[in-house]
Structure 1
Amino acid sequence: MLRAAYGDRARLAIVFSDGSARILTSGFESACDPDISCDATHLLFAGKRTAADHWNLYEIAVDGSGLRQITRDLGDCRSPRYQSTLYTMPPLTTIAPQPAYQVTFVGNLANNVNEYGAQAATHLYSCKLDGSAVRRLTFNLSSDMDPVVMPNGRVLFASWQRSRLDHGLLGRVGLFGVNIDGTDFALFAGYEGRRVKHMPSITAGGLAVFIEADQVPWDGSGQLSCVQLRRPLHSYRQITRESDGLFHSPSPLADGRILVSRRPADGSRTHGVWRLDPSSHEAELVFDDPRYHDVQAKCIYPRQEPDGRSSGVTEEDPRGKLYCLNVYTSDLEEPKGMTPGSVTRLRVLEGVPWETGQPLAERRILGEIPVEEDGSFKIEIPANTPIELQLLDADGMALRSCGWIWAKNGEPRGCIGCHEDGELVPENWFVDAAGDDAVDLSPPSEQRRAVGFRRDVMPIIARKCAKCHNQGKTPLDLDGDLAPVQGPDGKVPLGRSYENLLAPAEPPGEGGALGKYVHPGRARTSPLVWHIFGRNTSRPWDGAAQQEPVKPMPPAESEPLGDEEKRTLVQWIDMGALWDGSASATVRETAQERANP
């Protein structure tokens, strides 16, 4: 899903107009990821002096003088970018500090892994040019990468979205924006086009140009596409075709064209640097050393500094606020099934990073609250914490869920609706929740409850299901035994009943993410839930699932599940259908084997 972590033994070179070149980083074993200052006098880069070093950030003058190291002892730091000016808004009784000039970069300081597999997750950070005041900006549970500062001072970046399995086991990589203090994280561009969108660049002509691909090769190359900065959610356009080759790391030129690396799709030649017009598609070769892949080209020229940004983040505040104007405002073309009154409660979940991956990340319940009659709510949540919101119907099933979001310390974060069109302005009215105090959903860590199969679901199966579903009496074999069972491939499953309930569908659907009985993260489309509720609980936006027939369970002569038992099963599936919410070492080892066979 992600490109390889290339850059080892790379070097930075300045190429002059006559075609000659000068190595700028001769004292480094590896150097890459350059970014030019707005006054065109300095550049940032990531470098390693020896092969055993971590990647650190450096700044150097374009003439090769004044080298200084910025980061130390922060793990691997990559993709540095000069930020716009940061202005801090202190309380009225204090004197405002001087504006800060900072760097945005990508790092793995959090030491957690992506939600799929054991690859280290990366996040966006910032620090001052002397390496002080390190601040984490993004709190996605999978990797964030490729930051670039837009003219309005916000940071555009690529983000791996895999909080749910709606788009298959691999998820997708989309383009998002965030303020330089980590506030106001939001989708930037829509999901038209290919599965992976990354390496964004902002042109002088008001375009966000990026690389996209469905299957990413080792270097992350793909086709060029773009959106307009003025309407990024509704202006997607392809620039190149597959017959044009593969493209890599676009960057802007002063006249609206871009520099971009290009190579044949068959790998017969290395990348060369081309000058390309996103409007006319005309391209001309600028530089090509056939001995090397020439990538990440940047033109050294002065440009206007992006707008400064102010920050109201208060680091000592452990909470943030989150409000919504109307959960019924959405992107659904057919709103049937999501009408006023259909949402009864809001469930707020905390995402917990793991040391290794499994089908979905661990979730813990921060709380549930009723939604106001007009669809509004206002809550207080732990700051700097991955949060998932689930809108619940009368049966406690999640109708819709969001990807991982967060609020910074003291941030009043708001949204118009649920997956609403971000380019539309909401109606101007005073919603019910606005007149109330925010509901505190930041319990102590030890009070945040997970729902796991071993502890919460298995007793229900042993009590109500195993009698009929045991010893091959039915297609779904369930028993009351929690002991792991040795599989034919030598790997250790998590328990016979758990393995059977999460058996893959035949044929597999949606990238292999849906099971035969359980759809992790989506109880309403899970056949197991249909059976115990005696009806198909899917919604109009769930497609073909709404047409599936249902056989009620258990039979009339057997004791039915109680309301609380049904609620537990629904919560378990909507929260990821994990074996054990507290994640034992055995579970982690097995999950890693599955993700990395």
Structure 2
Amino acid sequence: MRAGAVSTLGRVAALACFVMVCAGCSPTPATAPAKTLSDLVVVQLPIAQSVVDPAQRLDLDARYPLGSRVIRVRPGSSADDWTVLSRGFATAGAPAVSPDGSRVMFAGRRTADARWGVYECSALGSKPRKVIVLDRDCGDPAYLTADRWVVVCAVDGQDVATISGSRRELFTATRSRSNVERITFGVGSASDPSRLGDGRILFSMKQGLQAALFTVNPDGSMIEPFFGSHQFGSIRSRPRATTDGGVVFIATDPDGNTRLERVETRRPLATARTLVFDAGSEQRLADLRSAEPMVDGGLLLTGRMRSGTGSARTSAVFRTVPGVQALQPVFDDPAWDEVEAVALSIVEPPRGKPSGRRTDLTSGKLILYDANRSDGVVGPSPGTPRAVELVVQAFSEGRPQTLGVVPLEADGSLFAEVPPDRPIRVRSVDANGAEISTSAWFWVRPGETRACFGCHESRESAPVNRRVLSTTRPPISLVETTVEVARR
């Protein structure tokens, strides 16, 4: 290589370093090119306050009692080398790492009587900055891109169902702290959002003592059940996408027992299995609190070792290695309970997701292809009388209210215009007025056209590609009605 070329490369390298310094970066593990970095972001709880009732695990106050903190730590280092990222906060938790590994968001309360807020700092420990300004409690942040995130915030009970107590919904915001937008409008309480590789948001939604997993686009459109909506009795929380096409999550039974489960993203309903790891000496990992995938294919786990003689005194951080069944201890401070751990890693930049939402419109559309199409298991069984009309309901003022009773076309289809950003469900009835099936609650964003292919239809097969009869005429308007409308 010519000397001039070497000199040019040197100048380019120097310029790159200068740009990195100006951007606030430094040659630390958070920005190194390694696939898996040694530093962790860990949530520590005071030992005496670390036990949480299973029914309250989605609640910020219960999960992070006063004194909880977020630290950056390198396993094997001394406490003098740890960095308290939430220094000055009365309590903090729920950390999330930016895609480039250089920033950390967390939920925190600066004082004991303050609202929960979401803050961001550099991975090196700069002064935390509030990233979403709302007059309500917010937490559970997740990065959608380097400059856009999703958080969980409390909502008023007047405009949505209050059947499950304190309620929370998903909001998105940008680094400029503008464009704050609520994107979920269900009857449950949302928590634990994370990003899938295709740009969708995966989250948990709780109703009563059950919590299932759902997906939604970043603009709030296309809410869909992902797993657990018909498997009752467990709380499913903290869903996280793995590097090999799966999703892991924590399932908590009513008696408080926890287990780590996995499904495959392509077929979540047919691939559920429990992950079991060898802890050695007849021990097992109990009281599982978090499971975070790493870029090498392993998992970071937090929990308490339990054997036949009892449980370990404190919760600690462990890891799994692909191809190795045994758990490996990573970090344990005997003065604290470690309940969450995330690696400071560089991950593949997330994909964008185009939005079809129309801010200039005040309604959405619902297309039902065939109300008589069912999986025969959760939905109507074979031989059930055919549906002839649908009762369309919205949840308002604490109860379901009927928007309209609409006749189905001969092919079982429906095309209707419905109010946006409100919980909606449909009930199919037969010629005698008997109810056949009821959908789960969902919503439609302004300008969204929501398509349903049946009533609890199989999600592993598609209907015949045809033009349904209901779309040959304008949609039936149910936007302004709150009582039964005349049958067409």
Structure 1 residues 278 and 402, CA gap change in structure 2 (3 angstroms): farther
Other-structure match for 1:460: none
Decide which moves more: 58-67 or 202-211.
58-67
Matches within 5 A, 1:1-400: 1-3=55-57, 4=59, 5-8=62-65, 9-20=67-78, 21-65=82-126, 67-84=128-145, 101-111=147-157, 115-116=162-163, 119-161=165-207, 170=208, 172-190=210-228, 191-192=230-231, 195-215=234-254, 217=256, 222-240=258-276, 244-264=285-305, 269-277=313-321, 281-333=325-377, 335-338=381-384, 342-352=386-396, 354=398, 362-400=399-437
The answer as to whether partners of 1:330 and 1:418 remain within 8 angstroms in 2 is yes
Q: Please state how far the C-alpha of 1:134 moved relative to its aligned partner.
A: 1.6
Within 1, Cα distance between the matches of 2:452 and 2:83?
50
Within 2, Cα distance between the matches of 1:278 and 1:187?
29
Tell me which amino acid in the other structure corresponds to 1:186.
E
Structure 1 residues 279 and 18, CA gap change in structure 2 (3 angstroms): closer
1:474-502: CA deviations, max 9, x gaps?
A: xxxxxxxxxxxxxxxxxxxxxxxxxxxxx
Structure 1 residues 400 and 353, CA gap change in structure 2 (3 angstroms): same
- Specify which of 393, 409, 416 is matched with residue 453 of structure 2: 416
Tell me which amino acid in the other structure corresponds to 2:174.
K
Q: Please state how far the C-alpha of 1:270 moved relative to its aligned partner.
A: 2.3
Q: Please state how far the C-alpha of 1:254 moved relative to its aligned partner.
A: 1.1
Structure 1 residues 449 and 411, CA gap change in structure 2 (3 angstroms): same
Structure 1 residues 449 and 437, CA gap change in structure 2 (3 angstroms): closer
Q: Please state how far the C-alpha of 1:393 moved relative to its aligned partner.
A: 1.2
Q: Please state how far the C-alpha of 1:302 moved relative to its aligned partner.
A: 0.4
Within 1, Cα distance between the matches of 2:369 and 2:357?
23
The answer as to whether partners of 2:75 and 2:330 remain within 8 angstroms in 1 is no
Partner SS state of residue 444, structure 2: coil
Tell me which amino acid in the other structure corresponds to 2:177.
G
1:69-99: CA deviations, max 9, x gaps?
A: 11234311001111148xxxxxxxxxxxxxx
Structure 1 residues 279 and 321, CA gap change in structure 2 (3 angstroms): farther
Partner SS state of residue 251, structure 1: strand
Query: Which consecutive residues of structure 2, in runs of 5 or more, have no partner in the other structure?
Result: 1-54, 278-282
Q: Please state how far the C-alpha of 1:230 moved relative to its aligned partner.
A: 2.0
1:511-541: CA deviations, max 9, x gaps?
A: xxxxxxxxxxxxxxxxxxxxxxxxxxxxxxx
Tell me which amino acid in the other structure corresponds to 1:228.
E
Tell me which amino acid in the other structure corresponds to 2:413.
S
Query: Which consecutive residues of structure 1, in runs of 5 or more, have no partner in the other structure?
Result: 86-100, 162-169, 355-361, 451-597
Matched residue count: 412
Q: Please state how far the C-alpha of 1:281 moved relative to its aligned partner.
A: 4.0
Decide which moves more: 25-34 or 174-183.
25-34
Other-structure match for 2:11: none
Within 2, Cα distance between the matches of 1:47 and 1:130?
20
Structure 1 residues 18 and 257, CA gap change in structure 2 (3 angstroms): same
The answer as to whether partners of 1:141 and 1:353 remain within 8 angstroms in 2 is no
Structure 1 residues 280 and 196, CA gap change in structure 2 (3 angstroms): farther
1:551-574: CA deviations, max 9, x gaps?
A: xxxxxxxxxxxxxxxxxxxxxxxx
Structure 1 residues 440 and 171, CA gap change in structure 2 (3 angstroms): farther
Higher strand share: 2
1:419-465: CA deviations, max 9, x gaps?
A: 11223222211111122211111125xx4479xxxxxxxxxxxxxxx
The answer as to whether partners of 2:161 and 2:395 remain within 8 angstroms in 1 is no
The answer as to whether partners of 1:56 and 1:69 remain within 8 angstroms in 2 is yes
Structure 1 residues 114 and 318, CA gap change in structure 2 (3 angstroms): closer
Matches within 5 A, 1:439-518: 439-444=476-481, 447-448=482-483
Within 2, Cα distance between the matches of 1:271 and 1:353?
43
Structure 1 residues 379 and 121, CA gap change in structure 2 (3 angstroms): same
Structure 1 residues 193 and 248, CA gap change in structure 2 (3 angstroms): farther
Tell me which amino acid in the other structure corresponds to 1:378.
F
Q: Please state how far the C-alpha of 1:403 moved relative to its aligned partner.
A: 1.3
Partner SS state of residue 133, structure 1: coil
Within 2, Cα distance between the matches of 1:391 and 1:2?
35
Share of identical aligned residues, percent?
30
Other-structure match for 2:27: none
Structure 1 residues 426 and 10, CA gap change in structure 2 (3 angstroms): same
Within 1, Cα distance between the matches of 2:114 and 2:106?
15
Tell me which amino acid in the other structure corresponds to 1:204.
T
Partner SS state of residue 311, structure 1: coil
Question: Normalized against structure 2, the TM-score is what?
Answer: 0.79
Partner SS state of residue 433, structure 1: helix
Q: Please state how far the C-alpha of 1:314 moved relative to its aligned partner.
A: 1.5
RMSD: 2.4
Q: Please state how far the C-alpha of 1:275 moved relative to its aligned partner.
A: 0.2
Partner SS state of residue 340, structure 2: coil
Tell me which amino acid in the other structure corresponds to 2:76.
D
